[in-house]
């Protein structure tokens, strides 16, 4: 058995063993408010899988479609999410998420080898990801984070292929996976929209200009087509109502003046009263208190959309400053789904507490992506070549996804740590490539 295959086998054993041990500490599936949202849509899709449910104003449909399919297979369409009879559905869902995550570790290992990293580097980095405590606790949650992370690794793998040896087939696969990823988590649309234009700068890609532009245009049209059908079916001009509520949360957190939205009296008057009473900056609490019909009344939701945009546009500098001030929370936040005792001193729990300390400590290096990404761009234009485009693309993906978190998601304890877990592989890979090419090369390639 050669060394590459041996390392791969060890990675598989380590990944599976870590997950089995974690189950022994925390065997329960994690369910929260978002889980019930996916379950509600999954139930409707399982009962009547029609286009106007697949395109809906509440959530993008991929995760609920998977869950709904499992409900049909297990004859559990009418079973409550937290009922014992629903356990088989959850077990299968968690198994799928875990196995796809293990597959993501394998794909990452192959990706590192494709980038010509030494075997010991590829193995060590992949082993770290297989034991990363930001990752596998989320596999036991009825949420999109685990699948989003795996899909993003798949997109990254295809992007590296498109940089090194592009083919029309790889472009098609990248386009299809981008579409599915967007329908799983909308902010992943930034991956094709940022990376495809950058690929046009690479010499090996110039004969694929037409294919590149075609995939880019299709990716760009996706949200517009979805919003069009949403408007036609439900009267809501947008992708997901959750986006409007999140932006309301940012307005509350930043205490932005609301005068620009005073023509939208429902929310303007409610906000004035809410602030006078020193209400907490939690958008769902605000809506539950003043306008609970917002969740089901499209006209109210459209008014909220216009109110959000008017207030943010009028206070854009303050909004930007407020959002960027939350960047440190991405790196200091504890994921709320971490079920172990981080203070444990004995037994298996102590092992996971130790792994958590390592995972959280290493994640502090993620700050460097904001500093080094502009450096990678400068170095690429100083000496353009395909290998230098890889960190540029990885940095673009990482920075954009991290900024999306602070600009479009209100802060709730632990939420930023959970959302950032999806982009950790690309952030670390960017830092590793920058270290390899521009530090350990001793300046030979600079």
| Residue-range domain boundaries for the chain | 3-232+333-438, 241-327
Distance CA 248, CA 84 (A): 37
To 10 degrees, what angle do helices 424-438 and 119-130 make?
Answer: 160
| Cβ(164)–Cβ(119) below 8 Å | no
Closest CA to 136 of 355, 440, 324: 355
Distance CA 176, CA 194 (A): 16
Residue 9 in 3-state DSSP? helix
**For the chain, how many helices (H) and strands (E)?**
21, 0
For residue 191, what are the CA distances in angstroms to 185, 209, 432?
11, 18, 20
Per-residue tens of pLDDT for the chain, all 446 residues: 688 889 999 999 999 998 888 888 888 888 888 899 999 999 999 998 889 889 988 899 999 999 999 999 999 998 999 889 999 999 999 999 999 999 999 999 999 999 888 899 999 999 999 988 888 888 899 999 999 999 999 999 999 999 998 999 999 999 999 999 999 999 999 999 999 999 999 988 888 999 999 999 999 999 999 999 999 998 888 898 899 999 999 999 999 999 999 999 999 999 999 999 988 889 999 999 998 988 888 999 999 999 999 999 999 999 999 999 999 999 988 765 666 766 767 777 788 888 888 999 999 999 999 999 999 999 899 888 888 999 999 999 999 999 999 999 999 888 898 899 999 999 999 999 998 876 655 544 44
Residues near 183 by beta carbon (within 8 Å), at least 6 away in sequence: 60, 61, 62
Query: b or e along 347-364 (b: 16 or more beta carbons within 10 Å of the residue's beta carbon)?
Result: eebebbbebbeebbeebe
pTM of the model: 0.93
First to last CA, the chain: 38
Output the 3-class SS for 167-214: CHHHHHHHHHHHHHHHHHCHHHHHHHHHHHHHHCCCHHHHHHHHHHHH
pLDDT at position 64 is: 95
Closest CA to 315 of 253, 370, 229: 253
- Across-strand partners of 30? 141
For residue 434, what are the CA distances in angstroms to 10, 376, 438, 443?
27, 8, 6, 12
Where do runs of H (alpha helix) occur along 255-385? 265-276, 283-290, 298-314, 316-324, 327-332, 347-363, 368-382
């Amino acid at each position: 058995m050669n060394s590459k295959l041996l390392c791969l086998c060890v990675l598989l054993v380590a990944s599976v063993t870590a997950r089995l041990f974690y189950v022994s500490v925390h065997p329960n599936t994690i369910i929260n408010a978002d889980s019930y949202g996916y379950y509600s849509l999954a139930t409707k899709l399982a009962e009547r899988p029609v286009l106007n449910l697949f395109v809906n104003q509440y959530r993008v449909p991929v995760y609920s479609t998977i869950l709904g399919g499992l409900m049909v297979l297990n004859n559990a369409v009418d079973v409550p999410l937290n009922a014992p009879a629903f356990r088989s559905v959850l077990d299968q869902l968690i198994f799928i998420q875990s196995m796809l995550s293990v597959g993501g570790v394998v794909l990452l290992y192959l990706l590192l080898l494709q980038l010509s990293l030494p075997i010991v580097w590829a193995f060590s980095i992949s082993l770290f990801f297989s034991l990363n405590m930001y990752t596998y606790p989320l596999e036991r949650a009825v949420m999109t984070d685990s699948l989003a992370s795996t899909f993003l690794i798949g997109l990254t793998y295809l992007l590296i292929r498109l940089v090194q040896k592009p083919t029309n087939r790889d472009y098609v696969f990248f386009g299809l996976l981008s579409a599915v990823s967007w329908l799983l988590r909308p902010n992943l649309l930034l991956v094709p929209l940022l990376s495809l234009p950058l690929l046009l700068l690479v010499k090996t890609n110039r004969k694929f200009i037409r294919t590149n532009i075609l995939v880019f245009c299709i990716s760009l049209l996706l949200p517009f087509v979805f919003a069009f059908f949403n408007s036609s079916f439900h009267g809501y001009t947008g992708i997901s109502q959750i986006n409007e509520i999140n932006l309301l949360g940012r307005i509350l957190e930043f205490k932005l003046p609301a005068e620009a939205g005073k023509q939208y009296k429902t929310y303007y008057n409610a906000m004035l009263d809410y602030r006078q009473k020193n209400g907490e900056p939690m958008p769902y609490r605000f809506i539950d208190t003043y306008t609970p019909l917002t969740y089901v009344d499209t006209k109210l939701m459209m008014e909220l959309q216009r109110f959000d945009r008017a207030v943010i546009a009028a206070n854009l500098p303050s909004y930007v400053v407020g959002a960027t001030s939350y960047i440190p929370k991405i790196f200091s936040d504890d994921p709320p789904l971490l079920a172990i005792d981080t203070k444990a001193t004995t037994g298996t729990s102590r092992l996971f507490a130790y792994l958590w300390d390592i995972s959280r400590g290493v994640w502090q290096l993620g700050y460097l992506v904001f500093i080094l990404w502009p450096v990678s761009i400068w170095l690429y234009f100083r000496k353009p070549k395909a290998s230098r485009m890889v960190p540029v693309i990885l940095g673009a993906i990482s920075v954009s996804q991290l900024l999306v978190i602070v600009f479009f998601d209100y802060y709730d304890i632990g939420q930023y740590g959970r959302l950032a877990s999806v982009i950790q592989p690309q952030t670390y890979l960017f830092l590793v490539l920058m270290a390899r090419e521009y530090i350990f090369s001793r300046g030979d390639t600079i």
